[in-house]
Structure formats: C-alpha cells, structure tokens
A and B are shown apart, each in its own frame.
Chain A
Amino acid sequence: AQKVTQAQTEISVVEKEDVTLDCVYETRDTTYYLFWYKQPPSGELVFLIRRNSFDEQNEISGRYSWNFQKSTSSFNFTITASQVVDSAVYFCALSESTGNTPLVFGKGTRLSVIA
C-alpha cells in the first residue's frame, strides 16, 4: 500500500529564513508521481509541483526548490527567503503512474512565517 509521511507537524520561522519541509513515501510501484500542494487559510489546495519517479532531477521555481531522492524515498521541499505569504499548510502526495488515480496524502506541515 502507498503511504506518505510528513513528520513535521508545525514549523515556525522568521521571515527571510530558509525552511525545508520533509516528505517520505512508501510504494511498491516502480513508477509513480509525487506532488506538493499548498493550502492557505482559505482552504483551497493549490498545486505546486509534480515529479515523475523516473526523473530525479531537482527543480527550482523562484524561491521554491524540490529535492527528490529515490534512494531514501524522499521528496523534500525548500522555501528560500521565506515570506509571510508562505504561511500555509503544505501537503505532500503520491499516486500511481497511470492517469486519473487518487492521490495519497501526508498529514501536512503547517508553516508559520513570522514578520
């Protein structure tokens, strides 16, 4: 069965600090997708990134970066120079590689960025 673990329940940082959110996953599939979503106080989940299991290249998008390591089954998310607007709950998720299958979510990490 698939499982996603986000061990950090809550993290608080001061604005402009860097912060890394951890995600560890379990799956028996050889091909799969990994995702990160952001849930601001409004409640709607916002898609941030999708990563294919066969593509281990790290990705950077502005202040956001993702480190995918198959050897440790981890898909960590780093925010550089955090801002107050980054305060939200962040979810890591996993799915099969076939299309239109449900996501398995971790319990989320609540990030608070203090001015």
Chain B
Amino acid sequence: DGGITQSPKYLFRKEGQNVTLSCEQNLNHDAMYWYRQDPGQGLRLIYYSQIVNDFQKGDIAEGYSVSREKKESFPLTVTSAQKNPTAFYLCASSSSGYNEQFFGPGTRLTVL
C-alpha cells in the first residue's frame, strides 16, 4: 500500500535532549513537509523540501533541523534549542501539479 509512515506514534523526551522523528513515503513524491500542530491551532510549517538534498525553512524553523538524503525520507530533529517542543507533528508529501498534500498519521511529542 502506498502512503506515508511516521514513527514513533508517541514520543517522550527529557528537557535538553535532541530527538528525531521519522517520516517515510513510498508515493514517489518529490516534495515533503513538516508541520506542527498545537491544541486549538492550525498547522504551522517547520521545514519543507522540494527535491533531494535541498530544503527550506518554514515559519517556525528555530530549534529544528532536517535532512533529505533520499527521496523517500525526511527526518525531523527537535533540538534542545526548541523552547516548547511538546506538540503534534505531521509529515506530508506532494507531487508536482495540483499541490495536493497527503499526510502521515503524526507523532505526538511530549517533553517531560
């Protein structure tokens, strides 16, 4: 089945630790995205990548880092510099054309 997988579903982190969220897609999509969702808020863009080995910052990139070494994978690292990382993180992908994005199931990160 084609789709987007994110792991883990739930993640707990101690303050001061870096943590990496996984996002994999087998849709052969060129572009991938990371969004953050807080309670009662819409989705806000963290980073996106339109092609392999290239990515752009979104509105709230501070405290996050990404890599795009393979077309299928776009991991997100939440660093200790991110002041309030507790949130729901959604990964998405799209192919060129109509910009319709498909989303993964999300990772809920809690900082203890």
Contacts and interface: CB of A to CB of B under 8 A. Distances in A.
B16 interface: no
A45 B90 contact: yes
Contacts of B35: 105
Interface string A3-15: 0101001000000
B105 A100 contact: no
A52 B44 CA distance: 22
A33 B98 CA distance: 8
Given A44-B103, A45-B90, A102 B58 contact: yes
Interface size class of B (residues with CB under 8 A): 20 to 34
19 contacts: A4-B42, A9-B40, A33-B99, A43-B106, A44-B104, A45-B90, A45-B92, A46-B103, A47-B102, A99-B94, A99-B95, A99-B97, A99-B99, A100-B95, A100-B96, A102-B48, A103-B43, A103-B99, A107-B40
Interface size class of A (residues with CB under 8 A): 20 to 34
Interface string A73-115: 0000000000000000001000111111111011110000000
Contacts, number: 69
A70 interface: no
A50 interface: yes
Interface of A: 4, 6, 9, 33, 35, 37, 42-47, 50, 52, 91, 95-103, 105-108
Contacts of A37: 103
Contacts of B53: none
Contact of A101 (B99, B103, B108): B99
B41 A103 contact: no
B50 interface: yes
Given A99-B98, A100-B30, A102-B33, A107 B42 contact: yes
